[in-house]
Amino acid sequence: MRTVLHIGMNKTGSTSLQNALHRDRAALRSSGMLYPEAGCGLSGTAVIFQYELSRVLGYSNTPAGSEGDAGKLKADLENEITAHNPNLLILSSEYFCLRRDISRLQQFLAGHDLTVVVYLRRHDFWYASLYAQAVASIPGAFPWSPGFAGYVDWLARHPDHFHSYGALLDHWRAAFPAANIVVRPLTHDLHRNEAGKPETLNMVHDFFLQISTPLPEHLAHIELRRDNRSAGPVQVQEAELNRRVQRGEAVGDFEIFPQLVEAEAVQRVILTQAADYAYIAEKYLGQTMQPLFSTAGVTV
């Protein structure tokens, strides 16, 4: 069976895409495409996100499922496939970006003609979104030193996430052909079009374009809903500062930047990733003269 596995990354529109696939499950099924309910759930997410699928296969920050869990999930998935007889199976969880053993997933999807789709953002914008999410979601004390630069330094010490995009892609290429891995750089918040207006990317349209599958007619004019939107940079930094003050923490010279990307630590990260951007462009996009993301004008 032809199967598309969307592996994120997080903060690249994954929630918006998954919500769209969930909202239009019935119409997708009528068009020969299945976004299954099997593997959905976990932490009260009902049938929107396929986090249970990734957890059972070991891609999670919680204990992996047993072989029995995987067997039951596979049976449930095969029953759903039999019931709807789709031409295309769509699976999605950004937890597949975690550094985990891929063999269980290979076994689970044995016999499937698999295409892996991943969306990437330039690290300064990606880290800014991760920081906003962390401030909003982490309970109790923050594990990083005060400020956005402290958060970036903390990320660098936690290799569980693939902050080297090349390492992430090579992890999957070790198991599946490079031709089966679709890499999409998210540049809509970095560049401007000829009219001087910000470019916008409808994640739903782009996703179906990448997997070479026409959108169902009722989805042709769908508007992307910005789910899981991050707060602005000043508000996020103020939220972190207020939390620390309320806890009686020493915050030192906590500086609030009008734009997070001005932080020197992030500029350093971008330059560190420049070689990786060039490698990805050549290896996965067939571009030898243009990197995945431009680092022109980035200085420390």
The domain locations on the chain are 1-122+187-228, 123-162+231-300
Which residue pairs from 223-231 have beta carbons closer than 8 angstroms and sit at least 24 positions apart in sequence?
A: 224/13, 224/16, 224/20, 225/16, 225/19, 225/20, 226/16, 227/15, 227/16, 227/19, 228/15, 228/16, 228/133, 230/11, 230/128, 230/129, 230/132, 230/133, 231/132, 231/136
pLDDT of residue 225: 54
Structure tokens at 173: 């290429």
Residue located via tokens 């996965």:
284
Give the list of residues 6+ apart from residue 47 with CB closer than 8 angstroms, or none. Answer: 22, 37, 40, 41
pLDDT of residue 71: 93
What do you get for the CA distance between the two ends of the chain, in Å?
A: 49
pLDDT of residue 220: 62
Whether 51 and 60 have beta carbons less than 8 Å apart is answered as yes
Chain centre distance of CA 281: 19
User: How would you write the pLDDT of the chain (300 residues) with one tens digit per residue?
Assistant: 999 999 988 888 888 888 888 888 888 998 899 999 999 875 555 678 888 999 999 998 777 778 888 999 999 999 999 999 999 999 999 999 988 899 999 999 999 999 999 999 988 888 888 899 899 999 889 999 999 989 988 888 876 556 789 999 999 999 999 999 999 988 654 333 344 444 455 777 788 888 877 776 666 655 555 555 567 889 999 999 999 999 999 998 898 888 876 677 777 888 888 999 999 999 999 988 888 988 876 765
DSSP state of 255: P
